[in-house]
Structure 1
Amino acid sequence: MQYQSRKDVPIAETWDLTDIFKTDAVWEQACKEVEESVGKLKAFDGAITDATSLYNYLFTSEEVGTTFKKVYVYAMLHLDLDTRDSKAQVLLDRAKQIGVKLSAATSFFMPFLLSLDENTLKKYIAEKKELSYFEEDLLESFRYKAHVLSKEKEEVLSELGEALSVPSTTFGMINNADIQFGEVTNEQGEKVQLTRGMYSKLIESPDRNVRKEAYKAYYKPYLESKNTIASTLAAAIKNNVTLSRMRQYPSALQKALFPDKVPQDVYDNLIETTREHLSSMNHYQRLRKETLGLDELRAYDLNAPLVKDVKNEISYDEAFDTMLKSLEPLGEDYISTLKQFKEKRYFDVRETPGKRSGAYNLGLYGVHPFILLNHQDDLDSLFTLVHECGHAMHSHYSSTHQPQITAGYSIFVAEVASTVNEILLIRYLLNVTTDEQMKKHLINHFIDSFKGTLFTQVMFAEFEKTVHAKAENGEPLNADAFNEVYEKIFRDFNGEDLVFDDEVKFGWSRIPHFYRPFYVYKYATGYAAAIQIADKLLAGDAETKSAYLQFLQSGSSDYPLELLKKAGVDLTTPEPIKHALRIFDDLVTEFEVLLKK
């Protein structure tokens, strides 16, 4: 359902942001408290001389950081509800400015900490028992010793924080606020305003003319802005490469992998192992072309339904109930907690003009998770709901079972929590359906989920690796360079059966994740890990259930690869990726058999 105004959306399907601050005035007071604390934190510069002063700084910094995160999130969530809202833009700008001041005030600490002898630090920890709370983080910081600059340089970089984020901010405004897709013709022959939510429905239309028109209209503003967007992406990549060099990392990729302690072999193995299985993806594309009866398979045919006469509509309430049933292998506490999330309005459900596109979960320690959706009352939206609830429950469990310092979790493990839920849902739906057409449709959905979450993300990961390498080698980055890299990789992944429209090579221009470098590969590793875990959960493996719930409660209490090993998945070997890709092979083969019945 498409709403023309937030006022039309039922209140039960909207966020209650008063859970963070009751009013803007209370938010403003919190802003002033943080600003006043900036001076207190700055005063510690040069004044940390013993265990007590070290503890006092760390305690104050965490306390101020907690308040600041609430200040920032309150502003950000308001703006995400309507990116055109000038008042919300002012709130977020104010929060960002405070963040820069806070970052500058605390920038002295890491160089100071790493100037200490490690034995001196351990002596401080032994002297003041309260420092044991910070011990792991303090000792972990010594891993970064070779990558931290002088106090003066760190302060300059902190001051430049807002400027360095401009490429990402600019793309966000272009993508969410400025780009207009114009009108297209829907399946009823009516002219409608194209939105991202509407596009996701029209690109799946059985009517090829509708798909083509929607596809062309969707890409048109990106092609018209190709040079502007290329400049923002190039700037983001160059910023990342420059910072990586300044901090003396071997490469931008190594810098991205360092915090999670992920060997580059894991990243490279993901790409290489997936490339070894591209024959099954090419098999699927040929099957798609044959099933649709096309002389030429084009990009706007890749989401067309291969199974007809299937009921795809599912209301939000029905979707929520279906999700709860599918997640029963995770236990009663998991289910009852999710019910409370809905009752307490942790979800903002509907697409409205100006609202941020897509979906996400944001866990706010000391408050609760906030889940943004753009729900369209269809099967895809059900899967999105299940996915984001996986993140939200991860946030909830980690916040409940971990102290603040380890309650956050790496994106690397985050994608496991969301994808386990998706796998449980698809297996549940396949088990309960008695309709042969629906079974075909669900297997097709499973295949497309595999394609989107594993193959496509690996393709994006290879694109990122290639264009960052170009920047590191001093090669030019512009629209033509991005097109050349993207088109080559896309052709490899999709096979010779796909006939290329000009729009295909501009796929890079619409991907927000490229402004968070080397992020997307974690979707693919998460998917592979989730396949293994979900299969064991569905087999009734009590040990896996216990280990997985423990994993959800672990936050960042260990490195991601170690947390996953405890949950039964070892991503330092190719096996989890190979296992997942074997299942993809089997699904494509099973789908072909069902189609020919």
Structure 2
Amino acid sequence: MNAVKDLKNREEISKQYKWDISKVYTSIEQWEADFELLKKEALKLKEYKGKLNEGKELLAFLKLDEEISRLADKLAVYAFLRSDEDTTNTIFQALKNKIESYLAELMAVSSFFVPEILSYDEGTIEKAIQEVPELNMYKFMLEKILKKKPHTLSSEMEELLASVSDCLNAPGNIFGMLTNADLTFPNIRDEEGKEVVLTEGSYSKYIKSKDRKVREDAFKALFGTYEKYKNTLATSLTSSIKNFSFVAKTRKYNNSLKSSLEPNDIPESVYDSAIETINKNIESLHRYVRIKKKLLGLNEIHMYDLYVPVIDTPKTNIEFEEGVKIVKNALKPLGEEYLEIFSEGIDNKWIDIYQNKGKRSGAYSWGCYDTMPYVLLNYNNELNDVSTLAHEMGHSIHSYYSRREQPYIYAQYTLFCAEVASTVNECLLINYLIENEKDERKRLYLINTQLEQIRTTVFRQIMFAEFEKITHEKIDKGEPLTSKDLCSIYHELNIRYFGKDMIIDKEIDMEWSRIPHFYSDFYVYQYATGYSAANSFVKSILALGDKSVEKYKGFLKSGGSDYPINILKNAGVDMATSKPIEDTIDRFNELLDMLENTL
């Protein structure tokens, strides 16, 4: 099939290029019947309220809760995927809205479970497990809940906190409304001199422009606009941090960072070590700036020069079938079994490949315990689409292994581990492409692509993480932060991270104000740890072969059966040490050597 020029209607897309959702439900009538069954069965959960201290009752509740959760998952997957195929189809929109509304009700029906478990005297649940051996399967899950006990408040206080959750989330909602709906940017001129509208969406295009005036204008227009609202945005962000700090203190955590990491048993040292390791090796980023400055032929390099490619994107037309072959060749180091599962995904129609009118944009991997791990693509025959295929199939094969090897309660992996498998596939692909590319210009483009992946996913996200740590620590101590303070902190970080060759334009001081992830406290560091873990796996797999592949597959099979740090350590990647990030910096330096050799 050729690249889609004029978008087709859904029914015009050949069946061979569409996922097979009929394996979930063959008809809407069948879905409706299960939806009615779900509503009926869910009410039975209430019968166990107040009885969970008895082993047999606890086991019966957990079994029923699993049956209901699995049915709800299946209903949701079908409705959401059918809706995403064509968002203009009102029938499937109605199904999606129906299950989405009911899921909130379902959460309320079983909401007594965790508070009741935590309300019992110490040793009650342990005794129930001893009396009913079948409960041993749930031991880790119950232990995770019991770990929250020192940080759980009285039922009245918990109810109070729950009732103000909307208020506590208000700063993030205000930020989103201001930046997505109300903020407008000045018009700029594009490479052809035409006046164009600058938006958050189009900024990424103009900041990569080969015309330096275009990217400078886009940079100054965007950050100049944010600067006009600096006091509002500073109040919004600091209010969000204050709210997070308030909840952490109320729940008796030592600090905000600990309250974020402890539920997943991640030591604060993992966060601190990531920042420390990057700062010890910051000269590598300074070297990247120097090389980029030279390759771009600039007398001085500014912050708005950072994203422009050192070489034009090579024109490609990679048919989907060819893309599949490329990815399979790149993934050969993962062994025959992995490749067989990959082929099964292609042959059994896990993937919805091409764009059609009304189809949701972007890409994702999604499914549940009782469905295939489906993949949504919008494949457009470009090299980036091949990378997306590798990435999303990494997620899906991770899910495939987890669901095959783990019981339902442990089949879902944590966010800390979520991006590792997808990034392993991406790293193997880009390594393979660099090693096998004979055209020097294309090879240079690929080298720069991986350098940018590491710069933006590791160095940049750790700089964000350091900004979060500084600001949260100050607010934990009761220090006020103004827009001037935030700009000063951010300016100093940019000086340190980019080095003396980079002109740190004053506009970049406002970048903190446009990062939505800062409203999801201590989230961004996981991009860096995930990439670094993946890079360590790839380095080991390429060096040691089968032995490392088996360890890596052990990681894929573990799901959420242990804390993420333990799962990774058992597979040979110890995130409590600096090695994974050092491995990534080693790869960054290798790529810089390749790039410098072209000068």
What TM-score do you get using the length of structure 2 for normalisation?
0.84
- Paired residue for 2:570? 566
* 509, 523, 527: which one aligns with 2:527: 523
Distance in structure 2 (CA, Å) of the matches to 1:528 and 1:564: 12
Cα distance, 1:449 vs structure 2? 1.6
What does residue range 504-515 of structure 1 map to in structure 2 within 5 Å? 504-515=508-519
Partner of 1:275: 279
Larger deviation, residues 417-426 vs 579-588: 579-588
Residues in 2 aligned to 1:362 and 1:165: alpha-carbon distance in whole angstroms: 27
Is 1:584–2:588 an aligned residue pair? yes
> Matches of 1:382 and 1:167 in 2, distance apart?
38
- Note the alpha carbon deviations across 1:8-65, whole angstroms, 9 max, x for none: 7946666666665667776666666555556433443323352221112222223333
Change (3 A) 1:549 1:159: same
Of residues 540, 551, 560 in structure 2, which corresponds to 1:556?
A: 560
Deviates more, 1:387-396 or 1:222-231: 222-231
Aligned partners of 1:498, 1:136: CA distance in 2, in Å? 50
Q: Aligned partners of 1:135 and 1:199: how far apart in 2? A: 50
Are positions 1:420 and 2:424 aligned together? yes
1:7 aligns with 2:9: yes
Aligned amino acid, residue 520 of structure 2: R
Which amino acid counterpart does residue 114 of structure 2 have in structure 1? M
The answer to whether the 8 A contact 2:140-2:561 is kept is no
1:488 alignment partner AA: E
Between stretches 293-302 and 442-451, larger displacement belongs to 293-302
Task: Give 2:147's aligned residue.
Answer: 143
Deviates more, 1:14-23 or 1:276-285: 14-23
1:207 equivalenced with 2:207 (yes/no) = no
Q: Please point out which of 437, 442, 452 is paired with 2:441.
A: 437
Contact persistence 2:248–2:256 (CA under 8 A): yes
| One-letter code aligned to 1:320 | V
Match for residue 409 of structure 1? 413
Given that 2:273 and 2:578 are in contact with CA atoms closer than 8 Å, whether structure 1 keeps it comes out as: yes
Shift of 1:123: 3.1
Which residue number in structure 2 is paired with residue 538 of structure 1?
Answer: 542
Letter in 2 for 1:299: M
**Partner deviation per Cα, 1:175-209 (whole Å, 9 max, x = no partner):** 77887889876667777887878665554443334
Post-superposition offset of 1:271: 0.1
Q: Is the 8 A contact 1:237 1:468 kept in 2?
A: yes
- 333-342 or 205-214, larger mean C-alpha shift: 205-214
Quick one: distance in 1 between partners of 2:373 and 2:115?
34
Of residues 440-449 and 379-388 in structure 1, the stretch that sits farther from structure 2 once superposed is: 379-388
- Aligned match of 2:333 in 313, 329, 332? 329
- 2:405/2:558 contact within 8 Å kept: yes
Aligned to 1:60: 64
Deviation larger for 446-455 or 577-586: 577-586
Aligned partner of residue 403 in structure 2, secondary structure: helix
The answer on whether the counterparts of 1:100 and 1:161 sit within 8 Å (CA) in structure 2 is no
Distance 2:97 2:478 in 1: 34
Amino acid at match of 1:302: L
Structure 2: stretches of 5+ with no match in the other structure = none
Relative distance call for 1:179 and 1:324 in structure 2 (3 A) is farther
Q: Distance in 2 between matches of 1:347 and 1:176?
A: 31
- Please give the alpha-carbon distance, in whole angstroms, between the structure 2 residues aligned to 1:503 and 1:406: 46
> Does residue 109 of structure 1 match 2:113?
yes
- The answer on whether the counterparts of 2:53 and 2:120 sit within 8 Å (CA) in structure 1 is no
1:595 partnered with 2:598: yes
In the TM superposition, residue 162 of structure 1 has moved relative to its aligned partner by: 6.0
1:60-106 superposed Cα distances (whole Å, 9 cap, x missing partner)? 22333333444555666677779999999987776565444444443
**Does 2:273 correspond to 1:247?**
no
- The alignment covers a number of residue pairs equal to 595
Q: Does 1:487 align with 2:488?
A: no
> Residue type matched to 1:595 in 2?
T
Identity %: 38
Q: 1:5 to 1:480 in 2, by over 3 A?
A: farther
Q: How does 1:149-188 map to 2 (within 5 A)?
A: 149-158=153-162
Contact 2:208 2:307 (8 Å CA) reproduced: yes
Pick which of 403-412 and 84-93 moved more: 84-93
SS in structure 2 of the partner of residue 595 of structure 1? coil
Q: Is the 8 A contact 2:129 2:135 kept in 1?
A: yes
Partners in 1 of 2:18 and 2:325 — Cα distance?
Answer: 18
Q: Residues 352 and 377 of structure 2 are in contact (CA less than 8 Å); yes or no, is this contact kept in structure 1?
A: yes
Structure 2 SS opposite 1:523: helix
Q: Distance in 2 between matches of 1:216 and 1:93?
A: 42
CA distance in 1, matches of 2:319, 2:106: 44
Mapping 1:93-108, distance limit 5 Å? 98-108=102-112
Which residues in structure 2 correspond to 1:278-357 (within 5 Å)?
Answer: 278-307=282-311, 310-311=314-315, 314-347=318-351
Flag structure 1 segments of 5+ consecutive residues without an equivalent. none
AA matched with 1:250: N
* SS of aligned partner of 1:361: strand
2:366 aligned counterpart, secondary structure = strand
What is the letter of the counterpart of residue 334 of structure 1? Y
Q: Spell out the pairing of 1:466-485 with structure 2 (5 A cutoff).
A: 466-476=470-480, 482-485=486-489
State the Cα distance separating 1:569 from its structure 2 match.
Answer: 1.7
Distance 1:333 1:541, change over 3 A: closer
CA distance in 2, matches of 1:278, 1:138: 42
**Which residue does the alignment assign to 2:464?**
460
1:573 counterpart letter in structure 2: T
Inter-CA distance 53–365: structure 2 relative to 1 (3 Å threshold): same
Distance verdict in 2 for CA 1:167–1:7, change over 3 Å = farther
